[in-house]
Structure 1
């Protein structure tokens, strides 16, 4: 999967994606984006990301969950089998839109994602989490 620095952000907020593209490319990452679940599932095999930053609520309230389900639930014959262990950082504004309190601990316990961040998020915070996640998954002996 390339240099190990290929990020894919899946979010319908075009402005947020543009900001994160600037920040991430300035740090040397290859940055790719999709603005819906359907577009993401089409692009993931082309992009072969090392890490995915994924919004929950896009074209509907469960769009992000569909992407996670496709990536994590597919068996060895799934077209997404090779992405089953790609780290996913889930970004969401669920709390502000639904008033449900979703902490990162609860979010990652309920969903097969690696990190869960409530919006708004500062670029420095997401970069720190990206670096930590990639360091953990690319360390010798990491699965």
Structure 2
């Protein structure tokens, strides 16, 4: 690459630069971690920072909403159960339904097993799982289509009603760098 250098009162010089030494300054992608476990935040922060992401963290839904507004992250990673067993779901619902956050993709992080299916509708499959005696009493079902990658959460709220919402994907706890990085790269804006 040739760069033309021009200084006042001097001749114009052309200098050849090595492309390998040119660093393109690009804004770092921001990842918001919302988890009440400081150890999980510390591990995730180390993994993501090493990969060049800017990492912001919050310990609960309220802090998460504040950081979503102030930091405008490119991706959010939400723990399912924080202060209450519904807090992660409530935050995910706010992201999905708020015009302010609707463009922020998010991943759900949990130690809950993910049920897999190849059915076209993961929501339909979740409701079928609910009919099975082994699953009907579970508060939370995480369901993923192994064919097309669609995923969602079916959970029973404090009001006893069953709620469904789609998600981009799941991250399994404990944190595994080899599994989390492809998910982050796949879904980050």
TM-score after normalising by structure 2: 0.60
Number of residue pairs aligned between Structure 1 and Structure 2: 127
Of 118, 121, 132, which residue of structure 1 is paired with 2:186? 132
* Distance in 2 separating the partners of 1:38 and 1:85: 19
Q: Does 1:38 align with 2:62?
A: yes
Structure number with the bigger relative contact order (C-alpha 8 A, sep ≥ 6) is: 1
Q: Which residue matches 2:120?
A: none
Task: Compare the two structures and name the one with the higher strand fraction.
Answer: 2
Q: How does 1:28-67 map to 2 (within 5 A)?
A: 28-67=52-91
Max Rg structure? 2
Alignment partner of 2:173 out of 96, 119, 125? 119
Question: In structure 2, what is the equivalent of residue 102 of structure 1?
Answer: 142
1:57–1:94 CA contact under 8 A, matched in 2? no
Gaps of 5+ in 1: 75-80, 138-143
Q: Secondary structure at the match of 1:112?
A: strand
Misfit runs of 4+, over 6 Å: none
Mapped partners of 1:104, 1:55: distance in 2: 17
Would you say the 8 A contact 1:104–1:117 is kept in 2? no
More helix, by proportion: 1
Q: Residues of 1 paired with 2:108 and 2:96: CA distance?
A: 14
Specify every segment of 5 or more residues in structure 2 that has no aligned partner in the other structure, as ranges. 1-25, 114-137, 154-163
How far 1:55 moved relative to its partner?
0.6
Map of 1:26 onto structure 2 = 50
Aligned CA-pair RMSD: 2.5
The structural deviation recorded for 1:83 is 1.7
Other-structure match for 2:10: none
Q: TM-score if structure 1 supplies the norm length?
A: 0.77
Q: Cα deviations across residues 92-116 of structure 1 (Å, max 9, x unaligned)?
A: 1234xx6966343485264232112
Aligned equivalent of 1:78: none
Please point out which of 24, 27, 39 is paired with 1:3: 27
